[in-house]
Amino acid sequence: MHVMERVVLALLRLLSQTLLLVMAAWRWLGLSAPRVPLPPLDASPSSPLLLPATELAGRIRRREVRSVAVLNACIDRIRAINPVVNAVVADRFVEALAEAARVDERLASTTGDEKKLEEETPLLGVPFTAKEAFAIQGLPNSSGLLSRNGVRSQQDAAAVAALRRAGAIPLGVTNCSELCMWYESSNLVYGLTRNPYDTRRIVGGSSGGEGAVLAAAGCAIGIGSDIGGSIRMPAFFNGIFGHKPTAGVVPNGGQFPNASGAQGELLVTGPMCRYAQDLLPVLRIMAGPKASLLKLEEEVDLRRLRFFSMEHDGGSPYVGRVHAELIAAQRRVVAHLQERLGVQVQSLALDKFKFSFQIWSATMSLPGKDGKPAQSFAELMGDRGPAVSPRWELLKWPLGLSRHTLPAIGLGLMESLANLNPKAAAGFVRLGGELRAELSALLGDDGVLLYPSHPCPAPFHSEPMLTPFNFAYTGIFNVLGLPVTQCPLGLGKDHVPLGIQVVGNHRQDRLTLAVARELERGFGGWVKPDRDPGAN
C-alpha cells in the first residue's frame, strides 16, 4: 500500500469514527427515533408461529392442524409486525389462503399414505416468503429500483418453483436494498426495513426484509440470495439461520438483477429460517437433482471433524475491528465444541484474508467463463435505458432530484474507481485463487472453519455508509465458492443478536449444517424478539 493511500485511509477512518461518535451522542441525547417494541408473540409451544417448517408440514400431513390455520396465523402476525419493521412489501394473502384451503380439502378427502405424501410434497401446506428480487408470479420484481416500480413477474423463479412443487405456499415478497448490492435494506420504492430486536438498527442486505420477517415469526422459511453476504448478514443481524450453499448447486434463475460475468459464479441462492433442522431439507428441495452432489443424506459424526477458528481477518485497513462481544461469543463456541465433542479447535491465521475486500471487488468485475463481461452497476441502475452517471446522480441527490439511493450512487462511483488499476486487480484475483486452494487443502473433506460474521452486531441505520467495506467478512467466501452456515448465538448486552459463520469445503454443506444443529442445541438458536428491551 502506497504512503498516500495509507494517509487517505487514516483520514477516512478518523472521519468515520468521528461521525459514529456524533451519531452515538445524538442517540444518547434522545434526539433519534425511539426503539419500538414488536407486538408480543403467542407463547404457546403449539403455536404455528413457533414451530419449525418440517414439524408444521408433519402436523399438516397428519391432519393435526389445517394449512389454512397456519397461514392465517402467519398473515395475522405479518399484519401486526409490518407497521413496525416494514419487511413484507407485497403479499398474495388471498391467493395463498385459497391454495391452503385446497391442501386441506385434498387431505380431508383422501386417506393417502403419510410417508408417500412426505416424499412427494415434503412442505405441503407450509408458508414461505422470498426476497423481492425473486420472481413470484403476479408479484412485484423491482429489486428496489424506482424505474421498475410496477413491474410484475410473469412466472416463478427457480427456487420459488421448487418450493411450490414441494407443496409450500408463497405468502409474499420482502424488502431488499436497491439492486441487491448494499447491506442495509432501504430503497425508494418501499422505504426502510427495521430490525425486530431494535428498530433503530439495520436488518442487513440485501435479503434484509426476509431476515426481519423470519426473526419476527411472520413466516416459517424464506428464500434469499447471496453475492457478498446477502443471506448471511441479514441472518446474523436478525438472529436466525441462513445457508450459503456451495456455488453452482442451487439454480439462480428468475432473479433481478441477473448476475453477469464472474458475478454469476459468486451468486448463490439458499434457505433462511429460524430453526437449524429446516436448513437441510429446504436446501435439498432448492437444489433439486444437484442435491446428490452434496450427499446430504450421509450422517455426520461431529467428533470426527477437524475444527479451525479465526477471530479476525488479520487486520485489513478497510474494515472495522471485530467487536469484543463477537470474539467472546466465538470463544464460547470453541469451548463448547471442545467440551461437548472432545475435539481440539485449532487457531488459524491466514494472512490473505486481510485482502478480502480487494479480492472480492476485483473478482466482481471479471468476465465470465464464456468471456462475456460483467454488466456494470451503472448499467444496472439504468435498467432498460442508458447507463446512469453516478457523478451526476451524486450532484442531484442533495437536491432530492436523484431516483437512486445514496448507497447505490456510492457503489457506482466505487466501481469506476476500482477499475482504474487493472494490474493491481489482476494481482488480487490471483491472490483469491491462492487462498481458495490453500483453504480447500486445509479443510479437506472433514474440516470446518469458525469465522466472524461481521465486525460488529447490527449497526444503527445509515452507519454502514461509514463502514462500507465491512461486508468483506462474508464476501470473501463468495469468491472462494465455499458453503457457509450462519448461526445465531443468542443476544448481546444491547439485546441484539450475536452469531458466527461456519465454513466448510466445496460440497461439504452437510458438515456446516450439522455444526449448526449442534450450536442451536448449545446456544439456544433463535430468540423471540418481543421481549422488553428496556429504555435504551
Q: Would you please indicate which residues are annotated as catalytic (active-site) residues? A: 131, 206, 230
Contact 461, 34 (CB under 8 A): no
Here the cell at position 213 is: 420477517
Contact 479, 436 (CB under 8 A): yes
Exposed / middle / buried, residue 454 (Cβ in 10 Å: 0-12, 13-18, 19+): buried
d(CA 381, CA 257): 10
Q: Which of 357, 355, 366 is nearest to 435 (CA)?
A: 355
d(CA 369, CA 282): 29
The CA angle 222-227-228, to the nearest 5 degrees, is 105
d(CA 402, CA 395): 8
Exposed / middle / buried, residue 482 (Cβ in 10 Å: 0-12, 13-18, 19+): buried
d(CA 83, CA 170): 20
Q: For 524, left (φ over 0), alpha (ψ -120 to 50), or beta?
A: left
Which residue carries 463456541 as its cell?
Answer: 333
d(CA 105, CA 142): 35
d(CA 212, CA 207): 9
Which residue carries 452434496 as its cell?
Answer: 294
Contact 416, 387 (CB under 8 A): no
H-run or E-run covering 54: helix 53-61
Q: Which of 205, 215, 228, 194 is nearest to 83 (CA)?
A: 194
Q: For 285, left (φ over 0), alpha (ψ -120 to 50), or beta?
A: alpha
Amino acid at 16: S
H-run or E-run covering 306: strand 306-309
